[in-house]
């Protein structure tokens, strides 16, 4: 049976554990530095299993030793955005947190695949790579599945159709310079560009780019966790079932999309080895220009991290 460790028992972490438990993908350990928090939530989730109907073993812990022998480690630790904050505002605090987390992953779960969820996503995933010393394909970030889900939701709302029929694609940095791709977004196989005029698509793209900030502004405290945890669960299932799903993820680029040495949102093949392949899509020059600006922003931040 697979072992999954979720580091961080906040809203994203605990909801991720709930979704993974319901999928019965393996035993789960949820860790957090706050005493009693992961233990209490784990007990609550165990009791829910008797009602919902899952037999997943869930354990809460404050000790990194309990993540030993994990097949997949999911990082959700760190502070969340508050109104007015950008993902980049989180860099200093979350970089320090993820450095410590990643060193413990390397110590206790050296054979694991690592998925990072902590923001700023692409930068923190790079931090996790350097701190663990793992091979790049074993460390990736959850970003594009969430962004594509937001894009798909807005499209379905606009077209008054089922969300099940929308397949959206988003690449680029997880932030203000993400690049939704209407030409690779379809509704029951029909390209979005044949269903909506350019102006309407541009409006939906803009809402997608600001999707996280919209939720932060409404909540006043905290940030999104239902959709992020759903995205994590989809990606975790692809890894643990070795299903070779083609999904957008923050992956380490080594020349793809004219970029090298950074993490960036691109379509990948996810399986038991992590990122097993990066797929390069043909983009318009305008999309490439946004992509380059997004990559340059990430690169500038990375150069100042000292990792």
Q: What is the residue-averaged pLDDT of the chain?
A: 94
> With the C-alpha atoms ordered 12, 211, 252, 304, is the resulting torsion angle positive or negative?
negative
d(CA 195, CA 213) in angstroms, rounded, equals: 27
Contacts 24+ apart (CB under 8 A), 98-104: 98/124, 98/127, 98/128, 98/131, 99/127, 99/131, 99/307, 101/7, 101/75, 101/77, 101/128, 101/131, 102/75, 102/127, 102/128, 102/131, 102/132, 103/131, 103/132, 104/64, 104/67
Q: How confident is the model at residue 306 (pLDDT cuts 50, 70, 90)?
A: low
pLDDT tens-digit profile of 285-294? 999 998 999 8
Q: What is the pLDDT of residues 186-243, one digit of tens each?
A: 999 999 999 999 999 999 999 999 999 899 899 988 889 999 999 999 999 999 999 9
pTM score = 0.95
Which H, E and C letters describe 24-50, residue by residue? CCCEEEEECCCCCHHHHHHHHHHHHHH
163: Cα within 13 Å, side-chain hemisphere: 8
Q: What is the mean pLDDT of residues 32-40?
A: 98
How far is it, in rounded angstroms, from Cα 145 to Cα 178?
Answer: 12
pLDDT tens digits for range 135-164? 999 999 998 999 999 999 999 999 999 999
Q: Give the residue numbers annotated as catalytic, written as ranges.
A: 174
Give pLDDT tens digits for 94-109.
Answer: 999 999 999 999 999 9
Residue-level pLDDT at 303: 85
- Reported as a single tens digit per residue, the pLDDT across 80-91 is 766 666 656 778
């Amino acid at each position: 049976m697979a072992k999954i460790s979720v580091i961080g028992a906040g809203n994203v972490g605990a909801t991720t554990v709930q979704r993974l438990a319901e999928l019965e993908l393996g035993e789960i350990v949820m860790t957090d530095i706050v005493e009693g928090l992961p233990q209490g939530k784990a007990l609550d989730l165990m009791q829910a299993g008797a009602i919902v109907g899952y037999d997943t073993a869930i354990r809460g812990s404050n000790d990194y030793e309990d993540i030993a022998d994990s097949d997949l480690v999911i990082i959700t630790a760190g502070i969340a955005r508050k109104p007015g904050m950008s993902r980049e505002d989180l860099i200093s605090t979350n970089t320090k947190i993820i450095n410590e987390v990643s060193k413990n992953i390397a110590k206790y779960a050296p054979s694991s695949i690592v998925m990072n969820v902590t923001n700023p996503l692409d930068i923190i995933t790079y931090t996790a790579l350097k701190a663990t010393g793992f091979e790049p394909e074993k460390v990736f970030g959850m970003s594009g599945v969430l962004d594509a889900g937001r894009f798909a939701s807005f499209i379905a709302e606009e077209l008054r159709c089922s969300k099940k029929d929308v397949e959206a694609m988003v690449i680029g940095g997880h932030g203000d310079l993400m690049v939704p791709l209407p030409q690779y977004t379809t509704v029951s196989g029909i390209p979005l560009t044949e269903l909506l005029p350019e102006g309407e698509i541009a409006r939906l793209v803009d809402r997608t780019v600001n999707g996280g900030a919209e939720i932060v502004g409404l909540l006043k405290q905290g940030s999104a966790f239902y959709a992020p945890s759903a995205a994590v669960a989809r990606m975790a299932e692809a890894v643990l079932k070795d299903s070779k799903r083609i999904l957008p993820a923050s992956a380490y680029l080594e020349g793809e999309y004219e970029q090298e040495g950074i993490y960036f949102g691109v379509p990948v093949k996810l399986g038991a080895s992590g990122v097993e392949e990066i797929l390069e899509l043909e983009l318009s020059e305008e999309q490439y220009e946004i992509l380059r600006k997004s990559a340059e922003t990430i690169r500038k931040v990375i150069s100042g991290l000292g990792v």
